[in-house]
Chain A
Amino acid sequence: GAGVSQSPSNKVTEKGKDVELRCDPISGHTALYWYRQSLGQGLEFLIYFQGNSAPDKSGLPSDRFSAERTGGSVSTLTIQRTQQEDSAVYLCASSFTLSGEGADTQYFGPGTRLTVL
């Protein structure tokens, strides 16, 4: 069975350019999370999608960041006018449901390493 996949695995861009990062969650998982991990930092929550509900965007660091989830499956994280401080590993995770011990286990993708020059 396929796990969570992310593309690209590496992205180098120039400051000021827009980037799109893609996440394919595990089929049937209703919840999808985006995190980022900056050097020396823990995983920082960015945004959460659950089914057809409005996303929880409370973790997005600025209005340059946005995300979509089409058809309840694939998600795209877009960073506009990238800055050097956006350089990080962006991780996507999916889970089946939010309730119950064990059911919230998040399965992570390998991440996209973004470098903004």
Chain B
Amino acid sequence: DQQVKQNSPSLSVQEGRISILNCDYTNSMFDYFLWYKKYPAEGPTFLISISSIKDKNEDGRFTVFLNKSAKHLSLHIVPSQPGDSAVYFCAASSYANTGNQFYFGTGTSLTVIP
């Protein structure tokens, strides 16, 4: 049962344009969300997080938006750079509901074309 879904396995964007990566979840108890970036042959690295008390969190070129009513979050990268090409995973958790488990999506492979 996939509680966190990333329905787009891949995305291609021109350098300088905006990249929008989407993530949907089914468990309404999730209250903490993270995005990770993964390069080939490396472990995922933390990118940005958001808790359910917020609907937006910004860090430089990266902004995460949370729509709790739609159970949807998105990661915006602007402007996109070739070095952003990687696989992006979203993850969600609720300590009160799911304990120590973080649920990850299947990832979206982003390619930024120079």
Contacts from A to B (Cβ < 8 Å)? 4, 31, 33, 35, 40-45, 48, 50, 56, 58-59, 91, 93, 98-99, 101-102, 104-111
B62 at the A interface (CB under 8 A): no
User: Can you list 27 contacts pairing A with B, beta carbon distance less than 8 Å?
Assistant: A4-B43, A31-B100, A33-B100, A35-B104, A41-B106, A42-B2, A42-B4, A42-B6, A42-B106, A42-B107, A43-B44, A45-B101, A45-B104, A48-B100, A56-B99, A56-B100, A59-B101, A91-B43, A101-B32, A104-B49, A104-B93, A105-B49, A106-B34, A106-B46, A107-B45, A107-B46, A110-B42
Q: How far is the CA of A102 from the CA of B49 in the complex (A)?
A: 7
Chain B, interface size category, equals 20 to 34
Q: Are A98 and B100 in contact (CB under 8 A)?
A: yes
Complex: chain A residue closest to B47, CB-CB: A105
Residues 38-71 of B, flagged 1 when their CB comes within 8 A of A and 0 if not, give 0001111110011100000000000000000000
Complex: chain B residue closest to A40, CB-CB: B106
Q: How far is the CA of A101 from the CA of B41 in the complex (A)?
A: 28
In this complex, the member of B51, B93, B95, B104 whose beta carbon has the largest number of chain A beta carbons within 10 angstroms is B104
Residues 79-107 of B, flagged 1 when their CB comes within 8 A of A and 0 if not, give 00000000001010101000111111111
Given contacts A45-B104, A106-B102, 10 further A-B contacts (CB under 8 A): A31-B100, A33-B100, A42-B104, A43-B89, A43-B104, A59-B101, A91-B43, A104-B32, A104-B34, A110-B41
